[in-house]
């Protein structure tokens, strides 16, 4: 096996994946422009600071290394920002991936594991969501992911690419060794926001909507530990290298937790009060998003190891305490 190129490998999920790849004895090169990634996250494998949109950087990289597989995370990923700046998302995500695919073709690299999203489905009609569910993305971010999937499908049909598009639900948690975790600016993900309240970095958590048709009125999401996501990328990589079929595959725990359940679990894990404030629903939010990951089990032989939401939150809590240098309360 040759080297693995990890684009966006200085970001949250990319860095966890690079660490797991290296732990598995695989040689990696991380490419990241550090626009949203972090240099201290890019310490597993060789690091090149550069942009996936730049064909000169890509050609130098592929020419100088024995790369046979690409794991592609590099993308802008804020849904609300994509609504305000749609062109940025089509330039970064779609045009950037086209540049990468063109470079791969020039250098005869055919295997690609792509970081997609459950957002490609749009408002769900059936829960849990399977890969057969119709796609109807509603944000430029989600549309960019589905466009890329379509491009990869066309290339695969032409015999130019072998790919797996991993459509994951809500990434959560942190490296159990607390070497890398979730660091976004601005932070928009629920569990880090809840833990910031526990740490005294925020006064309260806004709960958007309490009148959804769910048991406690708050929205339900499927949370999957970031290390499980990383392991799925390795499984997808091996699937392709063994001649497996191309296509999309969901990644999720198959169970959902409401916003209030997350808050209560965080209170239990941290032993701290977490103040909440009720806010109106956000446009476009779905009442329930839960994934059907049976295809991942059947095709990749993958099962999540972190199924307890408290365990997932505990790994994030350990990371955030270390990040802020606060001594854990016992």
Cα distances from 178 to residues 126, 182, 321, in angstroms, run 36, 10, 10
Per the omega criterion (within 30 degrees of 0), is the bond before 186 cis? yes
Q: Is-contact 320 199, C-beta < 8 A?
A: yes
Other CB atoms closer than 10 Å to residue 294's CB: what's the count? 13
Phi and psi of 173, rounded to 5°?
A: 85, -170
* Paired tokens of 53: 């949109």
Among candidate residues 12, 89, 121, 141, the one labeled active-site is 141
141 is annotated as an active-site residue: yes
Task: Tell which residue, 147, 162, 138, 37, has the closest CA to residue 94.
Answer: 147
**C-alpha torsion sign, points 185, 186, 191, 192:** positive
Catalytically active residues, by annotation: 141
């Amino acid at each position: 096996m040759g080297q693995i190129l990890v684009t966006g490998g200085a970001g949250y999920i990319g860095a966890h994946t690079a660490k797991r790849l290296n732990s598995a004895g695989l040689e990696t090169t991380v490419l990241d422009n550090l626009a949203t990634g972090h240099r201290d996250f890019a310490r597993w494998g060789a690091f090149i600071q550069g942009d996936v949109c730049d064909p000169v950087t890509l050609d130098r990289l592929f020419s100088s290394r024995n790369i046979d597989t690409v794991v592609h995370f590099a993308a802008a990923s804020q849904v609300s920002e994509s609504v305000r700046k749609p062109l940025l998302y089509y330039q970064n995500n779609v045009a950037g991936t086209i540049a990468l695919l063109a470079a791969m073709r020039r250098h005869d690299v055919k295997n690609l594991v792509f970081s997609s999203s459950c957002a490609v489905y749009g408002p769900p009609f059936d829960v849990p969501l399977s890969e057969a569910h119709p796609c109807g993305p509603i944000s430029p971010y989600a549309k960019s992911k589905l466009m890329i999937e379509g491009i990869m499908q066309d290339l695969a049909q032409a015999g130019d690419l072998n790919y797996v598009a991993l459509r994951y639900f809500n990434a959560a948690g942190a490296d159990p060794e607390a070497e890398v975790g979730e660091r976004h600016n601005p932070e928009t993900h629920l569990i880090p926001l809840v833990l910031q309240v526990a740490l005294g970095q925020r006064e309260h958590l806004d709960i958007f909507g309490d009148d959804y048709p769910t048991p406690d009125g708050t929205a339900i999401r499927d949370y999957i530990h970031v290390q499980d996501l990383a392991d799925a990328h390795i499984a997808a990589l091996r699937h392709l290298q063994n001649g497996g079929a191309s296509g999309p595959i969901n990644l999720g725990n198959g169970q959902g937790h409401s916003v209030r359940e997350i808050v209560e679990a965080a209170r239990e894990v941290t032993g701290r009060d977490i103040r909440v404030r009720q806010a109106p629903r956000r446009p476009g939010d779905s009442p329930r998003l839960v994934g059907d990951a049976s295809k991942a089990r059947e095709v990749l032989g993958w099962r999540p190891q972190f199924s307890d939401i408290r365990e997932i939150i505990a790994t994030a809590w350990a990371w955030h305490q270390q990040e802020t240098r606060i001594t854990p309360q016992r």
